[in-house]
């Protein structure tokens, strides 16, 4: 429903690049995408790699776009949005991927009502396997939410939630790739500790996590049920699981997500 719309992206970092890649692979013509990025080298890279339009001028990119993706750092919200306010009208949809910035803050920076959708994607979007949750601002319509969901489905999977839950999304899936990467690294280190060459240990760890995720996704079963299928009485797996329980693995993961959620809430209060 947005294939003929001009799409402006303010900020040209990794997540912006993931969105560009997904939009183009999803059938959006590169000449429909304009990116505002202050770093010349980054502009050159995006233009060369994806053939999108680039500019150092935020207002130039925002002018005339029906859809604008805000892919900037949270601390830049005041200066950037005040700078593009003249280019925004009631028909413009603003999609924000800024962590910790509520829709109400964005809405308050414009003199007239604006349509805002808040999104929390994660870095696997770079491989078109992202997990994104979206929430509607005060003036966003059902059609706007459908449009936002269609965009993020191009880089993975998308869920709609109430905005009050976005901090929990940030703590779980937004920061989650870092937890998973740490787990993969720990598996690899454990393999090396027990005599495996690093290359073999790293490959086994990565494929084990990837394959297990694929299996879980394909079967749709509860993780506990799948775990039972590889846990034989008196076997190696139950011995390993006991060590995880003694180390408080599940409780640690839950506290990890809670800590990240609380930090997201704190960042939002500072705006």
pLDDT in tens, 233-265: 999 999 999 999 999 999 999 999 999 999 988
Whether residue 191 is annotated as binding a ligand: the answer is: no
Where does the pLDDT of residue 3 fall: very low under 50, low under 70, confident under 90, or very high at 90 and above? Answer: low
Whether residue 13 is annotated as binding a ligand: the answer is: yes
Average pLDDT over residues 161-169: 95
**Residue 192 to residues 81, 197, 198, 212, Cα–Cα distance (Å):** 50, 6, 6, 21
Whether residue 260 is annotated as binding a ligand: the answer is: no
Where does the pLDDT of residue 2 fall: very low under 50, low under 70, confident under 90, or very high at 90 and above? Answer: low
Which domains are assigned to the chain? 7-163 (3.40.50.720), 176-268 (1.10.3730.10)
pLDDT of residue 149: 95
Whether residue 121 is annotated as binding a ligand: the answer is: no
**C-beta neighbour count of 86 within 10 angstroms:** 12
Check pLDDT > 80 for residue 231: yes
Q: Residue 140: in which H helix or E strand, if any?
A: none
Region of poorest pLDDT, from 23-37, 159-173, 178-192, 238-252: 23-37
Q: State what percent of residues in the chain have pLDDT above 90.
A: 77
Whether residue 71 is annotated as binding a ligand: the answer is: yes
Average pLDDT over residues 29-48: 95
pLDDT of residue 245: 96
Tokens of 118: 């808040």
Whether residue 74 is annotated as binding a ligand: the answer is: yes
**220-227 contacts at long range (C-beta below 8 A, 24 or more positions apart):** none
Average pLDDT over residues 200-222: 97
Whether residue 73 is annotated as binding a ligand: the answer is: yes
Q: Per DSSP, what are the bridge partners of residue 70?
A: 10, 96
Instruction: Tell me the average pLDDT of the chain.
Output: 93
Check pLDDT > 80 for residue 190: yes
CA dist 135 and 119 (Å) reads 6
Whether residue 105 is annotated as binding a ligand: the answer is: no
**Residue 233 to residues 95, 220, 230, 240, Cα–Cα distance (Å):** 51, 25, 10, 12
Whether residue 72 is annotated as binding a ligand: the answer is: yes
pLDDT in tens, 40-60: 999 999 999 999 999 999 999
Rg (CA), the chain: 21
């Amino acid at each position: 429903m947005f294939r003929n719309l001009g799409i402006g992206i303010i900020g040209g970092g990794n997540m912006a690049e993931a969105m560009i890649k997904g939009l183009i692979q999803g059938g959006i013509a590169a000449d429909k995408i304009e990116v505002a990025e202050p770093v010349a080298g980054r502009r050159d890279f995006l233009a060369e790699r994806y053939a999108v339009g680039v500019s150092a001028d935020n207002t130039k990119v925002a002018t005339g776009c029906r859809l604008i993706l805000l892919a900037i750092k949270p601390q830049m919200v005041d200066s950037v949005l005040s700078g593009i306010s003249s280019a925004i009208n009631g028909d413009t949809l603003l999609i924000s991927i800024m962590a910790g910035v509520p829709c109400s803050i964005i809405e308050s920076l414009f003199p007239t009502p604006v349509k805002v959708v808040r999104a929390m994607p994660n870095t696997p979007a770079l491989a078109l396997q992202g997990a994104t949750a979206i929430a509607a601002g005060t003036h966003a319509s059902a059609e706007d939410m459908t449009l936002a969901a269609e965009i993020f489905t191009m880089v993975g999977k998308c869920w709609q939630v109430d905005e009050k839950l976005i901090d929990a999304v940030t703590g779980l899936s937004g920061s989650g790739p870092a937890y998973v990467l740490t787990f993969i690294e720990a598996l690899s280190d454990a393999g090396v500790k027990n005599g495996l060459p690093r290359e073999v240990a790293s490959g086994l760890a990565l494929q084990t996590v990837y394959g297990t995720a694929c299996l879980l996704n394909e079967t749709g079963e509860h993780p506990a049920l799948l775990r039972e299928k590889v846990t034989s009485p008196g076997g190696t797996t139950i011995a390993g699981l006991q060590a995880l329980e003694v180390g408080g693995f599940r409780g640690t993961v839950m506290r990890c997500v809670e800590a990240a959620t609380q930090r997201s809430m704190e960042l939002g209060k500072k705006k």
